[in-house]
Every structure is written in structure tokens, then in C-alpha cells.
Homo-oligomer: A and B are copies of this chain.
Amino acid sequence: MALTGCLARDLMDSETHPDSLTHDWGGRTISASTGRYPIGGAIMATFMDVHHHMKGITAEDLRAAHKADLDIQDDEKVDFKNAWADPESGLVYCLSEAPSADAVLRIHERAGHPADEIHPVPLIV
């Protein structure tokens, strides 16, 4: 599995160097350096993960894959939001809130569709 971007360990390391810079988005106070924010007592961040090999995926396949994630996401405190799929290129983009990139990856792996990339996306419009 090829992983690019900043992974969970980097995010956790950066939390050991807190700064006072934050930005507000959607009512959340987001750390400008880590992209992290509190939800329900957990420190969360937003992630976009990408699957590269889903050529021919159907609407039913996508719904089933998403349901498989939702069924076990609580085990890792992940909250999968949306997924967008292109059956022609085989690309699937998944948006989630989670305590770490590793948590997202573990859920996708256990659900049978490991992600090829994951990126924290601390900036959102």
C-alpha cells in the first residue's frame, strides 16, 4: 500500500509542539499547524483518502463498500462522510473525520478495500 502525505505519526508528533495559531471553520476551532479539532471529547482531523483500483465500480458496489466501513468505523472512532467514485478511471475519493490517518486506513483495510493514499485536509471551504 503506497501512502503519501502526512501520516498519523507526523500529526501526533506535531501535537507535541502546540502553537496558538488557529482558524475557525464551520464552528470549529482548527489548529493551523495540525488541522486538528475536538469533537465529542476526541481530537479529530479531516482526511481524504484515495483508492486507485476500482475500475467498473457500480453504485451498488459503492454503497456496499461504504456500509462495510460504517459498520465497523466506531471501533476506531472514524466518521466516514462521503465517497465519490469514477468507474472509468477506478478512482474513489473518501472523506472522513478521524483521530488519525492510521485509524481510517485500518477501517478500510478490515472492510476489504485498502486505500492507496491518505492525506489530512485541514483546510476546507
Contact = CB atoms under 8 A, between A and B. Distances in A.
Interface size bracket, A side: 20 to 34
Nearest to A94: B125
Interface of A: 4-6, 23, 25, 32, 46, 48, 57-59, 62-63, 66, 82-89, 91, 93, 95, 119-125
B91 A5 contact: yes
Nearest to A87: B123
Given A84-B46, A84-B48, A95-B84, A123 B59 contact: yes
Nearest to A83: B125
A63 B26 CA distance: 13
Given A25-B59, A125-B63, A120 B82 contact: no
